[in-house]
Structure 1
Amino acid sequence: MSSRDLGSRGRDGAATLCGLYHEAGQQLRCLQDQLATRDALIARLRARLAALEGDTAPSLVDALLEQVARFREQLRRQEGGAAQAQLRQEIERLTERLEEKEREVQQLMNQTQHEREKEVLLLRRSVAEKERARAASDILCRSLADETHQLRRTLAATAHMCQHLAKCLDERQQAQGDVGEKSRAEPESTSGDASGLAVIEKLQEENQLLRQKVTHILAYKEDFSSERADRERAQSRIQELEDKVAALLFQVSHRQDSREPGPCRMHTGSKSAKYLESDGLECVVPGDWRPGPGTQQLEPCAEGRRPSTAQRGQGDLQCPHCLQCFSDEQGDELLRHVSECCQ
């Protein structure tokens, strides 16, 4: 608690006392008005009594007046005593609060320089840990972006291969239908039946291979979806870490402004930049992240580059199984390679 807060609270207590005294003065003025009203009423009653009963004994009137004056003084004392008791209680309560705040201020003033430096050191360590985690998250985000780019290219090549396989499947089915019609048109030809059965068996085998390739393609699609979900989770975690680092930096700057005035203030922004510069070269990856099938493991490197980035620059198309790259002019060669590699 700073002395500035204690001073503001002391001013609030003084303002409260002034308000209470002001209210007490208003109550006293109200009581004085009531007494004046009663005095006027007594004077009117005395005048009426004198007019109605001129021969009344003056001793009786004096006794009544003395009794009224006594009651009036008693009422005034009771009301004044209640207001004063309330004011005394409020003053005692505010005095206790003021003494408590003074004890807190004295405790803060008696705190040693070593304890304050220890607390600041703990805050700096916490900020450094958050900054290292942020640098690791940035590196992970860049690696995930590279993986996403690679998976998109692989998906494009897979889609092209799927179109080619679907076209081949249609041609095989059409040829199979033609062979079936020919076999029904010529049932007497035994040699034709044997050749037709051989063609049908061959087409069935090719269909089975195509189904297996489609299964592999679906598996690649699931891997891409899982990688995309991992990237989104990593980005959300990065945002949370950035918010925590900003909050810690704000706390450190606030503590330094309140406890280390003048030339003793630390430049937190430059220090955080140094931490980011020193820790950004370490390719730290959280332990709960695992690359999916078809992706490459992250390797620590000073430049933050991946070997697959240089390999992807060799061509625009890539085999989804062995990650071999082909150029745009080698589409047929890619399809032949994929059909052989996926077997």
Structure 2
Amino acid sequence: MENIKMENEMLKTKLQSYNTLNTFYHETRQEIASLSQQICMKDNVIADLKARLGRYEKTAVNLEGEEPLLFGPSKSLFENLCKEISKYKRKLHDVEKQSSQQLETCKLEIQQLQQVVREKDQEIGRITLRPQHEKDLEIQRLQRSLAERERAQATRAVLCSSLAEEADQLRAQLGATVGVCQELLRRLEAKKHEGGDPKESHTHPQKSGQHTESTDGAHLNRLVCELQEENKVLKQRVAYVESLNAKWQKYDMSREEYVKGLCQRLKETSPLPGLGKANPGLLQQEILRLNQQLEEKMLECSKMGRELEVRKRDKEHIQMLEHQVLTYVDDFKSERADRERAQSKIQDLEEEVMRLKLQLRAQDAKDAAGTCRAHTSCRKSAHQSETAEAPPRKTQDQPGKKRSSGQSTQASVRTERKGTTDLQCPRCLTSYGDDQTGEFLKHCTECANL
């Protein structure tokens, strides 16, 4: 029963966490609603801008002696609108991702809660159906396991005491070996000091004893090496024994805690026959409450699914509007390019007209100078030759005819050049007068669009 209470407390804590998740979910819903309102506001702004573009589309003001002024939306406006749309699109994508993640976590937690509720129902059923003698058997089994653990603890305590005694003996042996090693080192140092002060008078008798000293030194070195190795082995054994002792101590502490827990369980399970009649009602109430919370979570999941569908539809609508805006921007750019090309063609034609006018003026000046020279030459010939009047008259009549024919040809050239001064479309070659510049510009834009 204590385990069931603990698990119920754990479930309560989980429900508190679910409540916090629910609050987070409501906050995200509020944020989504605010974002949808902002999207609606942006859609209204886009519609307003589209209406403005429709009003200002293809409007121009023609001034005398200046280029026509075209009114239209600025490029920065479209760029800002596209940036805002992309920003809100990213926000919407992030919110959808968070909501989908929360939905998945809620579904997993609901499944876990359902599994826990089923397990609790099964456990409660087993507890209610279990007879009293089975409970007594369970208590006896726990008591036997406790006695076995106590016996194992006693044997481990004996082993630990024996290991501690062995460790003390090893420490004593280690101290004795350390003392022997120190004594041998002192002897070696004394012999080195004695052998380091030789006299010249004793060189000959000492040669015979050098061999014996060298053999003694080698023997002592071997002994020192053996003692050092034995010291290392003893240190390793001491470290191993200390590690074993620490492990046994940890095991004893954990075992004592486990035994205390078992005793506490036995004390708590001993009054079970009296409590078995009152607890099933509380357990049933807890199960009903958990089932209600589970149904609420399922309803919230269904609501979240519907909201996700609404968001998907809104997303599709936003994508459609973005596509429309992009197509409108492309059309505007193409129209602007066509207008610029038409304007450049108009400027080229105006320059050509000015050049032709200058050529006409120069040609008129040349023609006037030629006629004056012809008159002066005719007068001189009339004063010089009076006898031959008939042929010169014929000759004078011929220049007059030539002059009249030249003037007629010049007039025709002028009329042709005046005809060329009319505005003419470079594609379909339709001509307009100088006072029809507006119609000519509209015709050029229509031809460029076609």
TM-score, with structure 2 as normaliser: 0.32
Point out the structure with the larger helix share: 2
Say which one has the larger Rg. 2
TM-score, with structure 1 as normaliser: 0.40
Tell me which of the two structures has the higher relative contact order, counting C-alpha pairs closer than 8 angstroms and 6 or more residues apart: 1
